[in-house]
Structure 1
Amino acid sequence: MDDPWTGLLHGLLLNTAAPPDVLLRLLGLEDEWVRWVVPRRTVLPPEVVDAILVHPDRRVRCAFAENAEADPGQRARLLDDPDPRIVLALAMGPEAYRRRAEPLPDHAYARLLAHPHPLVPYELVASGATPHHILAPLADHEDPLFRRASCRAWDRLARQTRERLLHDEDPGVRREAAARICHEDEEATTWLVGELGDSWQVIDILETGRLTRELAERVVAEGGRLAAVAANPTLPPDLVARLAVDPDPQVRLRVSARPELSESERAAIDYTVDAEERLPALDWVWERREDAEFLRRCARSAHTWLRRSAAVCPGLPADAVELLARDPDFAVRLLLAEFHPEPPPELLLDLYLNGTHRAVGMLVTRPGFPAAGLAARFGDSPDPERRRLALRDPGMKPELLDRLSRDPDTRGAAARDPRLPVARIRELLADPHTAAAAAANPALPPQDMRRLLDRAHVPEIPVNDRTIGC
């Protein structure tokens, strides 16, 4: 591909209205970006999928295997790929951000488990994307790695099967099984702590496992893992009181966020929550994520960690949402905006305009982002970012859209707007400053897209030839 055409064709690549023949021609280019993006598109026509599945560049096929938006049945067709690396990518599961991708058909998992390349079944059982109903039957597998994986489906296992795993001949299986019951079994917790030694995994056990008095005293006396044990719900009250005045601020913070403490007891602890500190949602708050009255209490808490934890809970009632939307802690407001099903529109706008965290740029895609009226509010703003925001207004007048398409600071964003007249899109397509953005405009007629490919000397793909050459 000639350099002058690279940006323009990359813009065309992002056009959500590009027809199958255009995508097929793009897929034939020797361009790494094209071959990475096309198989990862959210929507792929059947004929393009057919071409991807037989593409000679394995990176194209691998990208499709990792596409969390792709139809699982279509992805499963890669089971017949001659390259084990593609099947391995399929076994590892697709890349998905903050959600679980749709699982493959059950017959696909059966074939992956039986695949002759040993890494394929091992990666399958190690993958967090593999459904529990696939893992549960592996409890009787001859390979201990498979029996260990079956423990992740603990709730699906019969009592006799659980007992068998708890007494398995393999220590790794026994540890995995014991980890599933240690929250209610003191002996399992004590045994695991001894078995795991200095492993990072012991932190999880000390946080959640049921503690004997002896083990709790020993861990506190040793002093090496106090932050972990400080969060354990079964830590005796006198040891909780001792850790509440520990010299380590992280230990005091963990104690201050224990579920049994009252507001006054929390306030008596010398703890701080740094504005930039990343804290996971407290487990004991998340477990009651649909309990409206409980979440109200958390939202009113003086403890920032409790309020942050409440902010991510879907059951947060409207009055608590309104309260947290005005919270002095930026992270509380951002978490509410990111995770609540119905975040306040003005909160989304305020964070987008004034927040500095990289996540605020995604808030325009959240439900309820206040698009209506943005043109009147920001169309004449001296701030280019606010003028670009005006383009999101569904009621924007054509005259303002045309003006913004000629504004040096907003013309790139405006060039992608499908409300532009086709004649104006073509003008922007001819301008090297806006050509790539205009090529991505879904209102660009398909014949214009094809002409661009012709002018860039991108070969046509014969109708009956779906084997895209390198």
Structure 2
Amino acid sequence: MAERYGAYALAGNPAAPAGVLLRLLALNDRGITHRLSYRAVLPDEVAEAMLAHPDRWVRTLLAQSWTAGPGLRARLLDGPASDALAVAMGPHPYRVQVPPLPDRAYERLLNHERGMVRYETVNAPSAPDHVLVPLAGHADPLFRLAACRRVWHLLSGDARSALLTDPDGDVRTAASLQVMDEDEERTEELVRTLADDWRLGEVAERGRLGRALAERLVADEVLLARLALNPALPADLAAGLADHGNPAVRLAVSARPELSEDERAAIDWRVGPEDRLDPLRWVGEARHDPETLRRCARSAHTWLRRSAAVCPGLPQDCVELLAGDADFAVRLLLAECHPGAPAELLLDLYLHGGHRAVGMLTARPGFPAAGLARRCADAPDSRARALSLRDPAATAELVERLSRDPDEGVRRAAARDPRLPLPRLLELLADPGTAPAAAVNPALPPGEMAALLDREGVPG
């Protein structure tokens, strides 16, 4: 790839014409083709070439692209039968909701002869609710199982009752897991049937507990940390765990919903800055209850504040409060999850946060742009200087100045900026350190793109 850095970069240039992209596709280079498949816009000629490409790995890349339109991905079903599995699996981007395939595509996939295709279809995150709900009454237990797990909240009472008494044991278990928080008998049954199953921890944490069952489970050291989180655990049994020797158990007890701040403070709990904690379930269930969220946001307990920070419905006064929280994870979770996270918080975390996730904050809708040229162009921090290029008011003169910055990262950022004067852009294209960034610049003329491919020996 080193000798064709320009070709790889041009695959991501949003202004690259179809002729350039087709030359790149013809290279049969996996890295370059992978980048082609994730373009925001794929010209029709290139899309057709990928659809009809003789190599299955090329078609699979198209099936797995979250930027490719669902209609385009569905057309792969008209090609070789082996492509159906890739279409069924589809894209799985991080924290991005992929549009569903056309209904006709789901009909074909759900009736496919290969069981693996059907399995991947019903478990794909992008499969829409209206496709999954009718599966509750399907003859195939695999489909009924998916309906239990994915759309239980949308099923009718009759459909739920049928699934709870389903002839297939896995389906009955999946249905019981959906109602165990309201049903002591089903919780008892799940404890018996899942004795050696990893899901027993979920039952201990969420199931409705009768007194006798709770006392039996308290004797199980392996389950204690999960059990202590269960709101249905009798208060006296939970209180008896407050000084347990396992710090995970004490932490779980300290985060129970019924405790006052004083009662939490009396427990020896600790949350370290690097500790990864799932959001508390009871806080998530209160996501539409402003007062409960306020209580959590104002709590001295770190876990409660972190759990409140991930709730998009957190009241604005709590957003402002948590934006200044002493715990870095609280601030980061708020920045990642709340649509109203303050722009200054996003900027501060990006520039000063030590976690790898802060680099993704520039993609958040609230990340600032206006005014950054004035604030950051002369900053001592090179990352801040590069941010000044996000400002729509940044002048061509500023972009050119930053293209000569001592820091190569800033020069690369300037090389990608379409406001950069063309003569300077061509200079950067000739510099190995900045050439890949310059080749991505949409202001690069098509003739220069073609010449770059010629220089790298890419066939015409």
**Which residue does 1:89 correspond to in 2?**
86
Change (3 A) 1:89 1:373: same
User: What's the CA shift for 1:122?
Assistant: 2.3
CA distance in structure 2 between the partners assigned to 1:96 and 1:434 by the alignment: 29
**Counterpart amino acid of 2:140?**
D
Q: How far has the Cα of 1:328 moved from its partner?
A: 0.5
Instruction: After superposition, give the CA deviation of every residue in 1:32-91 in whole Å (9 maximum; x if it has no partner).
Output: 11111111222222222111111122122111111222211111111122142x211211
Structure 2 unaligned runs (5+)? none
Which residues in structure 2 correspond to 1:338-417 (within 5 Å)? Answer: 338-409=336-407, 410-417=410-417
TM-score by length of 2: 0.94
Q: Which has the higher contact order (CA 8 A, sep 6+)?
A: 1
SS where residue 182 of structure 1 aligns? helix
Matched, 1:292 2:290: yes
Q: Which amino acid aligns with 2:335?
A: A
Q: Within the alignment, does 1:163 sit opposite 2:161 as a pair?
A: yes
- Deviation string 1:259-312 (CA, Å, 9 cap, x unpaired) is 121211211211111110111222222223243333222211111111111112
AA of the residue aligned to 2:148: C
Cα deviation 1:365-422 (Å, max 9, x = unaligned): 2223233333333323343333222322332343332222122412222111111112
Letter in 1 for 2:430: A
Amino acid at match of 1:450: A
Question: What is the SS of the residue equivalent to 1:218?
Answer: helix
What one-letter code is carried by the residue in structure 1 that aligns with 2:429? L
Deviations 1:398-447 (A, max 9, x none): 33322221224122221111111122211211222221111100111222
Q: Deviations over 1:218-242 (max 9, x none)?
A: 0002322001111111111111111
How far off its partner does 1:318 sit?
2.4
The superposition leaves residues 200-249 of structure 1 with CA deviations (integer Å, 9 ceiling, x where unpaired) of: 11111111111111110000023220011111111111111112221111
Q: Is 1:420 the counterpart of 2:420 in the alignment?
A: yes
How big is each residue's C-alpha offset from its partner over 1:170-222, in whole Å with a ceiling of 9 and x where there is no partner? 21121111111111111111101110112111111111111111110000023
CA displacement at 1:457 relative to structure 2: 3.7
> What residue in structure 1 maps to residue 455 of structure 2?
455
CA distance in 2, matches of 1:286, 1:200: 23
CA–CA separation in structure 1 for the residues paired with 2:59 and 2:288? 41
Partner of residue 464, structure 1: none
Aligned to 1:468: none
Matched, 1:430 2:430: yes
How far apart are the structure 2 equivalents of 1:393 and 1:128?
A: 36
CA distance in 1, matches of 2:147, 2:351: 47
Structure 2: distance between partners of 1:370 and 1:147: 46
1:193 matched residue in structure 2: 191
Q: CA deviation at 1:150?
A: 2.5
Retained in 1: the 8 A contact 2:8–2:35? no
> What is residue 108 of structure 2 aligned with on the other side?
111
**Is the Cα contact below 8 Å between 2:396 and 2:421 reproduced in 1?**
no
1:56 is aligned to 54
1:98 maps onto 2:95 in alignment? yes
Task: Give the equivalent residue in structure 2 for 1:65.
Answer: 63
SS at structure 2 position matched to 1:90:
helix
Alignment-derived partner of residue 174 in structure 2: 176
Alpha-carbon RMSD: 1.9
Q: What is the TM-score with the length of structure 1 in the denominator?
A: 0.92
Confirm or deny: 8 A CA contact 1:183 1:209 kept in the other structure. Answer: yes
The answer as to whether partners of 1:186 and 1:209 remain within 8 angstroms in 2 is yes
Q: Which of 7, 15, 20 is matched with 1:17 structurally?
A: 15
How far residue 21 of structure 1 moved from its aligned partner, in angstroms, is 2.1
- Cα gap change, 1:10/1:116 in structure 2, threshold over 3 Å: closer, same or farther? same
CA contact (8 A) 2:395 2:419 kept: no
Residue aligning to 1:220: 218
User: Which amino acid is the alignment partner of residue 393 of structure 1?
Assistant: D
Partner of 2:122: 125
Q: In the superposition, relative to structure 1, how do residues 145 and 370 fare at CA in structure 2: closer, same or farther (>3 Å)?
A: closer
The 3-state SS of whatever aligns with 1:224 is helix
Q: Which amino acid aligns with 2:292?
A: F
Change (3 A) 1:133 1:398: closer
Q: CA deviation at 1:127?
A: 3.2
Q: Distance in 2 between matches of 1:330 and 1:361?
A: 15
Residue identity matched to 1:245? D
Q: Which amino acid aligns with 1:182?
A: M
The worse-fitting range, judged by mean Cα deviation, of 153-162 and 260-269 is 153-162
Q: What is the CA-CA distance between 1:125 and the residue it aligns to?
A: 2.5
Partners in 1 of 2:10 and 2:91 — Cα distance?
Answer: 25
Secondary structure at 2:249's aligned position in 1?
helix
| Pick aligned residue for 1:137 from 134, 139, 142 | 134
What is the identity, as a one-letter code, of the residue corresponding to 1:296? R
Amino acid corresponding to residue 65 of structure 1 in structure 2: A
Structure 1 residues 399 and 129, CA gap change in structure 2 (3 angstroms):
closer
